[in-house]
Amino acid sequence: MPEQIIEPDLPIIDPHHHLWDLRPMIGAFPEPLHPFISALPDNAYYTFDQLHAHMTSGHNVIGTVFMECGAFYNAAYGDAKKTVGEVEFVNGVAAQGASGLYGDLRPCAAIIGHADLQLGDGAAEVLEALKAAAPGRFKGIRHQGAWDADPEVLGAPFHAPEGLYLDATFREGFAHLGKMGLTFDAWVLEPQLPDVISLAKAFPDQPICLDHCGTPLGMGSYHGKLHERFDTWRHNIRELAQCENVVVKLGGLAMAFCGLPDKGPAAGTGSEDLAAMWRPYVETCIDAFGPARAMFESNYPVDYWGAEYPVLWNAFKRLATGAGQDEKRALFAGTAARFYDIEDILPS
């Protein structure tokens, strides 16, 4: 039975979702399939229709932020600039939503693309091309750095080198973000949080968003060790929060990587149980960063592994029960609007 929507009028900006068509890739991955891949048949096609259905499924989602995911690259632009194809595609989706034919919703009001910062100074040309592909909507990039020595943790889809954010050439490319007024989204795994701390301290004026609460791990060699590693995670979160240029996304905990829950996809776990699982992580992040530097995120469709979209946001609202109205406005829309420079879509 569907859950009743909690606080249905609370404005939400979903600051982290993907759009993709991964159907051609199904069957191309080695056996045994990583849980991230085994869930794909249920969400391998996620474009405007699916996004619109979720935005209108009961919660008051007024806008979203698209997050790069390696989709719709255009090889005709060359290897360095093929990522421009993704931003071009998403800008079309944003225009579709902004047409008014679908109401006041503003999907992909901000677009986060990808440029290979390992190009060093050569990344500047790619960043300029990305900006030109979506004037006014392109706000920054994500260059994911997730890595672990255990190959079972990430599986085949992810291949970031160890210590990417510490690399001198990467940082040479990273420096161009600040020059262009662009944001940076950092995705790493929990043991890599010191790399983000180092990066944030080295570039104190660069806006950085830590994705997915820093991705606590509950699979592979980390299975059953969430409690054991919690204090280390909490220490690093608190240290990162001392960097005033960093904000945090509260979500991603329903990914298969985390094991919260450890069954999926769409395991049918209710929002009360999800909130109980996630509370130690979410409350630690809010306590460390404050509501003005924290934002709830869906990470859809990846978090479909553990939660249906309406249930996911119900869980977040349960976690924010003790917050004041101003704090809720920040956590559910205001922080995202400010960080990604889309405050114009907030209700007056």
Q: What percent of the chain has pLDDT over 90?
A: 86
Average confidence (pLDDT) over 295-322: 95
pLDDT per position as a tens digit, 73-82:
999 999 999 9
Residue 346 pLDDT more than 70? Answer: yes
DSSP state of 185: E
**Residue 292 above 70 pLDDT?**
yes
What's the pLDDT at 74?
97
| Averaged pLDDT score across all residues of the chain | 95
| 303-331: average pLDDT | 96
Residue 155 has pLDDT above 90, yes or no: no
What average pLDDT does range 100-125 have in this prediction?
97
Which pLDDT value is given to residue 62? 98
Mean pLDDT over residues 19-48, rounded? 80
Task: Using pLDDT thresholds of 50, 70 and 90, give the confidence band for residue 66.
Answer: very high
Task: Walk across the sheet containing 294-296 and list its strands.
Answer: 11-17, 60-67, 106-113, 138-142, 183-186, 208-210, 246-250, 294-296
* pLDDT 10s digits, 234-247: 999 999 999 999 99
**Cα 229 to Cα 235: distance, rounded to the nearest angstrom:** 10
**Which residues make beta-bridge pairs with 204?**
none
Q: 11-343 domain in CATH 3.20.20.70?
A: no
- CA atoms of 302 and 42, how far apart (whole Å): 10
Q: Provide the pLDDT for residue 157.
A: 72
Distance CA 145, CA 36 (A): 17
% of the chain beyond a pLDDT of 70: 99
* 331 CA to centre of own chain: 15
Q: Is the pLDDT of residue 229 over 70?
A: yes
Residues 6+ apart with CB under 8 A from 168: none
The answer, yes or no, to whether residue 41 has pLDDT greater than 70, is no
The answer to whether residue 26 scores a pLDDT higher than 90 is no
Cis-peptide into 261, omega within 30 deg: yes
Averaged pLDDT for residues 57-78: 97
